[in-house]
Structure 1
């Protein structure tokens, strides 16, 4: 419930600081006095987009703040999920706009994104303006009315889960069918490519090995010359390093007895001698193996050319990628070969999922059908006292293909008299009739949805007299069940039934035009309603009529 509203520097409002109460309240005021401005401010609190032009001229910032009592509405889950401090008795929502175009939103002094403010706002306040009467023409709104009365949120969620699984499987089936058709059309080409890569007898690391062989064989003479030079330096008779080291060892062993240091020299030279002797043997063996064979070089280069050609043809850079391409082609051919089996398996799965979704949809339809009959009966009962003694109202449900919201299409059919056949409500109902239908629907919905505050913005358009009083009584009834109902009205019959009466006024001052809202006293209410009855010149008859409407005894 909205307990307190504070507005500063918003459009024509300098500062508004006012308490609001539970039950049924009314707001009156002349056209242009600023009632829409107050609604606009509340809209910003509910997450609507802001415009810096809404800031009062000359001000740097505007602030809109509201205090709510949520103690009866079980909303703690929202605050816990969003890590916001929860105070059931005093939840504060604030919106700040700056002339520079910046906007900030707060819930209990915690900065929040606009989307979060909107999510909470939708659970706190429902503002029903005249343009919302157009919702009555929308199929999704009509469906939502039936779903709310059916209390089928859990069943709808179960159906949507089943339908989403079916829908996903159907997309997979469609993709598989397309793939199979495309692959079958390319079967010969795919087989040719697979055969070509298979017959190429590809091996991991082959290209690198062949490139090394080719490079080695192309430089065979240089390699042989270098190895010969190294072999000669190590092993040449009389001048080779190995023979010189052997002679050094022999000489040192001859003096080992008389020169103790010779023992260390012998060990170090002996180690070097053994290493160089092995090295000389390896170089000599390598020299014997180096032999230039043009035919072998041609064979290596031809194989490399084949690999390079395949890589270019298949737009890859390595043999590994060619192998991956070959394996993918083999998988595609295998899928084509086994496609009928895979297709049949997925078709069976889709049919099972459709059957599951259909069962959930049938259950949903039953709940909606029962709720539709309830809406028909209750709405007709509510509309008769609202000046429609011969009203007929029916909810037509037709079966359509399974979709996100089930298999049902809803249409509200309406006739205000016995001579007119039932037709879609948007085609036959007048503005006043639509207003009464919407009010009756809101009254029904409010009983099923725990919405703390409902604001009606001139829902009484197109009605007057006794009908207006009946509409006010409906709003009174809505306000009795731990709910706050506020009606912005131009009709004295509605204004008189409010437990609390506010007036919006516009005043011209030296600083410019300002708008304000204040709570009226008992005497002020008499004057206000009398003025609504007779205009600016208030007659005694109007005063007496106002007192009678207010049931005031003087």
Structure 2
């Protein structure tokens, strides 16, 4: 709840501290006294949009600080996630608005963004009045409140858990199959590459040996000629070396018979003789092999072309080609295994989708029952608030895969909010499903006969909207976690019995929530637990707005003035004072539980 609001240099307020209490806090004062300024300051500290023209004339900055006592788990969790610690159960929000357009926001002294201040602020105060923010206008909040009203939070949580499991499986599946076409292409490519390399039957260093063979085949004729000439010169011609060396050998043998010292010469000459013979036959054998073979040359060149083509694709050596082949085979096996894993996940996903669809269908049916009951209760409340012709409707919808909406209740068309969703089957159709189930909800109102029901956000009249909100809050107060409700213009256009019913409902809501209300009606003011008076005065030639709490006697006088029984010259009439006392005394007896 809001315990204190400090305002400095904001419009007509120079410095002002307002203390609030539990129950029903009522602001009263003459028109133009500055009650709207207080609401604007409250909006500012809650993170709503404000402009620099709200800074008091002559001041450099405006400062608004709100001190809250919190026991809302949602707010506590939000602060925890943001790394903001609380001193006990107290929370301090502060906003500084500077003339240069800069806004400084703090929570418990820690600088935060304006969006963070807004999120926290909306969990603390719900403000109802023309041009103000209302959490009840949010379709997500409306569905949540419907679920709380119908006692469906447990099954809603169950749907959320199953939905999370479904989305995790979907995410895992998407990770494995980011692009099915791309995966198919990779399988085809890797298979082709492995098969292409395997067909080549590559051998280590084969490219070098083939290159050498091609070189020899290109020079086969020349090699044959040279080898043949060498053979002829050494062995087969009339002037060949071999026959002449034979004559030399005979001569040395004869010399050695005469001179024994030349015996070694015989041995050496014999060695040369036989070496020449062996060399000659080697040349002949080589010449026989060096024959031109165009077919073999073509075969070798084709083989080398295959190898070079593989080198261009997979690596500059045969070893690198074979390494690439092994890696491609591993990737191919991994993808094929991925197919099996995807099939397993898809099967599990279908099972979870069935459970999700069944659970979401159950809560959807229960929501229909709860919405029918809620509709009757709220319409009864509206009739008691002099809106007897007002129709209330909970518009529940599902969205098909194609984007067309399947309505189970007649209502107006609305823009679908951009939120994470999935597709599961409902009654044979592919329907969008969210963490809360199939349904999207919106509260619709038709204040006048002959009009079409419209979303609450489209209701033009601030006072009318406030009464509608008051009726809804009266029903949903026990399930609404926002601790403080602010009603502005809730009494616009009402009087008599309607004013009494508005007062009673405000008082009833204040039993479970802190209620802050600005009113011009003495009937509503008489129900206050804490009555604050707003007035303008002139100080040092400047107009300022002041707020002060009223004691019991001051309350009687203020309510008497509101009844119209006094003026500046003669004061408040005795009749008005007596009537005011009766209103205050009887107010507690008028509360309807």
Provide the TM-score with structure 1 as the length reference: 0.65
Compute the RMSD of aligned alpha carbons.
5.1
The farther-off stretch of 468-477 and 194-203 is 194-203
Which whole-Å CA distance do the structure 1 matches of 2:36 and 2:201 have between them?
81
- Contact 1:533-1:542 within 8 A present in 2 as well: no
Q: How far has the Cα of 1:442 moved from its partner?
A: 1.4
The separation in 2 between residues aligned to 1:468 and 1:358, in whole angstroms, is 47
Q: Give, in angstroms, the shift of residue 485 of structure 1.
A: 0.7
Equivalent pairs, count: 460
Shift of 1:38: 1.9
Instruction: Name the larger-Rg structure.
Output: 2
CA deviation string 1:356-385 (max 9, x = no partner): 211321342354345324423432342332
Measured against aligned partners, the alpha-carbon deviations of 1:410-450 in whole angstroms (never above 9, x if no partner) come to: 45466779x86995576998846544322111122322234
Does the 8 Å contact 1:547/1:553 carry over to 2? no
User: d(CA) in 2 for partners of 1:450 and 1:492?
Assistant: 30
The higher-RCO structure (CA 8 Å, 6+ apart) is 1
Name the SS for the 1:27 alignment partner: strand
Residue deviations 1:518-545 (CA, integer Å, cap 9, x gap): 2345565456545555599679998745
* Deviation (angstroms), 1:33: 3.6
Which of 497, 501, 505 lines up with 1:466 in the alignment? Answer: 497
CA separation in 1, counterparts of 2:201 and 2:29? 92
Alignment of 1:413-428 (within 5 A): 423=453
Most deviating of 151-160 and 168-177: 168-177
CA contact (8 A) 1:2 1:69 kept: yes
Q: What is the aligned counterpart of 2:515 among 485, 495, 504?
A: 485
Q: 1:326 aligns with which of 325, 328, 334?
A: 328
1:264 corresponds in structure 2 to none
Q: Can you give the 5+ residue segments of structure 1 that lack an aligned partner in the other structure? A: 215-294
SS class of match (1:461): coil
The corresponding residue for 1:269 is none
Secondary structure of the residue that 2:93 maps to in structure 1?
Answer: strand
Q: Indicate yes or no: 2:32 matched with 1:46.
A: no
**Corresponding position of 2:9:** 9
SS at match of 1:406: coil
For 2:23, the equivalent position in structure 1 comes to 23
Equivalent-residue separation in structure 1 for 2:584 and 2:44 (angstroms):
42
Q: Identify which range, 101-110 or 67-76, moves more after superposition.
A: 67-76
For 2:573 and 2:493, the matched residues in 1 are separated by 22
Aligned equivalent of 2:62: 62
1:386 Cα offset (Å): 1.7
Q: 2:313 aligns with which of 310, 315, 319?
A: 310
What SS class does the counterpart of residue 358 from structure 1 fall into?
Answer: helix
Are the counterparts in 2 of residues 76 and 86 from structure 1 also a CA contact under 8 Å?
A: no
Change (3 A) 1:111 1:344: closer
| Deviation of the 1:74 alpha carbon | 10
1:441-461, Cα deviation, whole Å (9 max, x unpaired) = 112232223433211121333
Distance 1:473 1:128 in 2: 17
Tell me the distance in 1 between the aligned counterparts of 2:335 and 2:91: 65
Structure 2 Cα separation of the partners of residues 490 and 373 of structure 1: 35
TM-score (norm 2): 0.61
Residues 187 and 332 in structure 2, CA contact (< 8 A), matched pair in contact too = no
Deviation for aligned residue 1:17: 1.6
Cα distance between partner residues in 2 of 1:423 and 1:311:
70
Secondary structure at the counterpart of residue 130 of structure 1: coil
Partner of 2:88: 87
Native 8 Å contact 1:398 1:410 kept in 2: yes
Shift, 1:487, TM fit: 0.7
Residue of structure 2 in register with 1:247 after alignment: none
Q: How far apart, CA to CA, are the structure 2 residues paired with 1:113 and 1:429? A: 31
Judging changes above 3 Å, is the alpha-carbon distance between structure 1 residues 114 and 188 closer, same or farther for their aligned structure 2 residues?
Answer: closer
SS at match of 1:126: strand
- 1:393, 1:422 within 8 Å by CA — same for their partners in 2? no
Q: Is the 8 A contact 2:393 2:443 kept in 1?
A: yes
1:60–1:98 CA contact under 8 A, matched in 2: yes
What CA deviation, in whole Å up to 9, does each residue of 1:449-489 have, x standing for no partner?
343321112133343332122111101111123x3211122
- Residue by residue over 1:289-330, the C-alpha shift from the partner in whole angstroms, topping out at 9 and shown as x without a partner, is xxxxxx9xx9999799546632699xxxx8699558834874
* TM superposition shift of 1:6: 1.4
Q: In the aligned structure 2, how far is the partner of 1:366 from the partner of 1:122?
A: 31
Aligned partner (choices 406, 424, 436) of residue 437 of structure 2: 406
Cα offset, 1:552, TM superposition: 6.2
Match of 1:499 among 529, 542, 553: 529
The answer to whether the 8 Å contact 2:127/2:134 transfers is no
**Does the C-alpha gap of structure 1 residues 332 and 193 become closer, same or farther in structure 2, counting only changes over 3 Å?**
farther
CA 1:97/1:319 → structure 2, altered by over 3 Å: closer, same or farther? farther
The whole-number CA distance in structure 2 between the counterparts of 1:464 and 1:365 is 41
- Judging changes above 3 Å, is the alpha-carbon distance between structure 1 residues 552 and 73 closer, same or farther for their aligned structure 2 residues? farther
- CA shift in 2, pair 1:115/1:141, >3 Å: closer
Structure 1 residues 393 and 549, CA gap change in structure 2 (3 angstroms): farther
Distance across 1 between alignment mates of 2:54 and 2:447: 43
Determine the structure 1 residue equivalent to 2:144.
144
CA contact (8 A) 2:526 2:584 kept: no
Given that 1:190 and 1:333 are in contact with CA atoms closer than 8 Å, whether structure 2 keeps it comes out as no
Q: Tell which deviates more after alignment, 432-441 or 387-396.
A: 387-396
State the shift of 1:78 in Å: 6.4
Please give the secondary structure, in 2, of the residue aligned with 1:468. helix
